[in-house]
Amino acid sequence: MVEAENAGRNIIFHNMSPSEFVDVWHGYFDLGRDYGAVQRKLSENDPVMERAIAFAPGIRVLRQDFYETLISFIISQNNNIPRIKRIIECLAENYGTPVAYREHILYTFPGARVLSSQTEESLGCIRAGYRSKYIIRAAQRVLELDIDTLCGMDSKGVRQELLKFYGVGEKVADCIGLYSGLMSDAFPVDRWVKRVMATLYPGSGTSNEEIAAFARKKFGSLAGIAQQYLFYYARENRIGIEGSDDP
């Protein structure tokens, strides 16, 4: 269990050994990437991106565990954030391992072997609906998958492998690829991102596919990071929201 403290321009990690920091958290927080260089590259000849980065320069994309990211985004389909959180918490409480932390009992994310042996009926307690069968089949496939091979693929190869998972479509594949650190050029598009792009980049296209292709062409391998800057900037300034005064 790790605690992170915001200390001005620094982040202090507690309950962590030097080896844990190097082996786990350095990669998780994407600390090996030069975000200064990323920001300079994205801002070059792009005043929109320059404003977005200046608004929240501390944003970075976490490199989260592939399996947990996979299951979490399968649960997120056609769902809202409070319900997604409840389902994941329920999944951990029922199938994870309890861990004592101070005066609390927390639960680990259940492993693929545990979930792969469940049935839709036994997962009924988490109230995931039709997603239960996706969760089970995803866990079964993960047990057969060589994660190291997946990590060595380019974005196109990773996307193709993700689309083989039962219940995973283009947008969910892009989310999984981006937030697990396997596809830095992924640009997931939902209705909110679509509105943001229509406002900030009017020529980016009208369909999700056109917008994603525009972003990959414009931002290249940094498209996923660019999306994070743009989305946060737009959300906090109510850009692309109906009835807002767009700057």
**Contacts of 44 by beta carbon, 8 Å cutoff, 6+ apart:** none
Q: Which amino acid is at 192?
A: W
**Contacts of 39 by beta carbon, 8 Å cutoff, 6+ apart:** 53, 57
Report phi then psi at 10, rounded to 5. -120, 155
CA pair distance 123, 184, nearest whole angstrom: 33
Catalytic residue among 41, 85, 133, 171: 171
Structural tokens at position 220: 């290249």
Q: Establish whether 171 is a catalytic residue.
A: yes
Q: How far is CA 113 from CA 106, 126, 132, 137, 197, in A?
A: 20, 18, 15, 11, 40
Measure the CA dihedral 237/239/241/246, to 10°: 100
Q: What is the CA angle 63-64-65, rounded to 5? A: 130
* Catalytic residue list: 171
